[in-house]
Structure 1
């Protein structure tokens, strides 16, 4: 019996070591999870802005008011051009027509007068460019985008001291 007890003790000691190493692993996993949870909570508090001071809130309010005032001062103006009907460049016997009505977006009131004064030059540039277009050039949204960008470039060259911000299509019909 004494021999049996001696043999059982080493097994018990090994069993304790196995259970204590398993306990250490569990403890490490729990501590790691808690640390990750704390890091996540700290990041959430930091990015949510809860810890921001009152000074930053006041400065943000001031910037917001200044931004609103500057937006009110920045009014846009629109200049409507007359409707244009242009023959498109085709290789077929059948004629293709483009009916176009645009509005020009201008940033300043003084530019409106300049654009209106130089409207004949703008229309001439439009007509010259549009007559060279083919039907395939106007297909899809990519064609519309390219047309808008090209017209904007030509307008800004024609009304050089003034600046046109955008070309807005009011009507565009291709037949």
Structure 2
């Protein structure tokens, strides 16, 4: 009978050990499930300071500004061609500027813009304008020159107008 009593105590101890294992494995899983629910429910990130800042009485942020387009005058100039026959280029383009308010600054810089565009075009050879790669290089060069032309003078407190791109309406090499 003593043997039967010892077996009963070991069985009871084994059952208690199973409960301990269940609690030790179940508690972390339960906590992870609750944490995931709070995270994906959107409750936990603001509590951890990871959400957007709380709304205050300040006015709402401005809507994102849309770029504006400024029409450039038509440019007709000769290219740097070898041989006796002159080669001309006719260019119609638009400047994409960051804000519509910058159109006045671009208009004021128009003489400098035209000068920089024409001098660059006069130095180009007709071969350099062939293909999409040539057109892309011309676009990048003209955009860089336009940005230089519309920049305010040194020491000015006005923000510089931003030239985002040069869009070609017509390029004719003849």
The two structures have a TM-score, normalised by structure 1, of 0.60
Q: Name the residue aligned to 1:149.
A: 140
1:163 aligned onto 2:162? yes
Aligned to 1:90: 81
User: Which residue is 2:42 aligned to?
Assistant: 55
Of 125, 135, 138, the match for 2:129? 138
**Equivalent-residue separation in structure 1 for 2:86 and 2:111 (angstroms):** 26
Aligned CA RMSD, in angstroms, stands at 2.8
**Richer in helix (by share):** 1
| CA displacement 1:63-103 (0-9 Å, x = unmatched) | xxxxxx98953211110011111111111111111010010
What do residues 125-146 of structure 1 show as CA deviations (whole Å, max 9, x unaligned)? 1111101110111011110011
For structure 2, which runs of at least 5 residues remain unmatched after alignment?
Answer: 1-38, 47-51, 53-59, 153-160
Partner Cα separation in structure 1 for residue 119 and residue 125 of structure 2: 13
Cα pair distance change 1:165/1:71, threshold 3 Å:
farther
How many residues are paired up?
119
CA distance in 2, matches of 1:159, 1:76: 16
Q: 1:70 to 1:101 in 2, by over 3 A?
A: farther
Which stretches in structure 1 are left out of the alignment for 5+ residues?
A: 1-51, 63-68
Q: d(CA) in 1 for partners of 2:90 and 2:128? A: 15
TM-score in terms of structure 2 length: 0.60
CA distance in 2, matches of 1:127, 1:155: 12
Matched, 1:99 2:98: no
Q: Which runs of 4+ in 1 moved over 2 A?
A: 69-73
